[in-house]
Amino acid sequence: MKIIFATNNAHKLKEVQAVLGDGFTLVTPRECGVTEEIPEEQETLEGNASQKAHYLHDRTGCDCFADDTGLEVEALGGAPGVHSARYATDGHDFAANNRLLLRNLEGVANRRARFRTVISLILGGEKRLFEGIVEGRIIDRETGHEGFGFDPLFVPDGYDRTFAEMTTEEKNAVSHRARAVRKLADYLHSIGK
């Protein structure tokens, strides 16, 4: 089955394709002629994922899904949350985001955090939401070179390595996105897609 995934991020595309498996072919917005930045103007992860999915569906008429992910840090009242990608700047500057997070957590003992992903699927004109959460903690310096975003600072519960120190396969075994994508895949399989 071909389905449009609202991302042009190669890391994210690879992660999601690995979880979905061979029965699905992910198509990027660019491959469908949608080359502009897809808006993310909502105040919740659910809202952003849905806005992106509707934007693609309205322009292509095709089945599609979009995700939004936020890092929710307990000591920061859930921030950066929905603003994770643009935490430090208006652009996707991962290094600046990581520096700001570390600065905001200087001297803070409570380093509990969770990654949360929400996927919005539009299939046959109907919308469904899927959520994946992984609990963990923020360490005090970046470690590892894999992944993207806050991966070099986040250690999931039960592990002693950051997401950025894990292979794609290891990360997909426990990550928030993988958990949401598995729910999506289970749903698509259950309806025979």
Q: Would you say 172 and 19 are in contact if contact means Cβ atoms under 8 Å apart?
A: yes
pLDDT of residue 23: 86
Burial of 134 (0-12, 13-18, 19+ CB in 10 A): buried
Distance from C-alpha of 27 to C-alpha of 6, rounded to nearest angstrom:
8
Compute CA distances 102 → 6, 92, 94, 106, whole Å: 30, 17, 12, 6
Look at residues 86, 88, 46, 98 and name the one whose alpha carbon lies nearest to residue 68.
46
pLDDT of residue 36: 93
93 is catalytic: no
Cross-strand pairs, 2: 25
pLDDT of residue 133: 98
Q: Please, what are the averages of pLDDT over each run of 10 residues along the chain (193 residues)?
A: 89 84 90 92 96 96 95 97 88 88 97 98 95 98 90 96 93 91 92 74
Look at residues 8, 36, 49, 15 and name the one whose alpha carbon lies nearest to residue 146.
15
pLDDT of residue 29: 95
pLDDT of residue 12: 83
What are the binding residues for substrate?
Answer: 7-12, 69, 148-151, 171, 176-177
Catalytic residue among 67, 68, 90, 140: 68
Distance from C-alpha of 66 to C-alpha of 120, rounded to nearest angstrom:
5
Domain locations in the chain as residue ranges: 2-190
Distance from C-alpha of 117 to C-alpha of 72, rounded to nearest angstrom:
11
What are the binding residues for Mg(2+)?
Answer: 68
Architecture of domain 2-190: Alpha-Beta Complex (3.90)
Q: Which two tokens stand for residue 44?
A: 């919740």
What are the binding residues?
Answer: 7-12, 68-69, 148-151, 171, 176-177
pLDDT of residue 193: 62
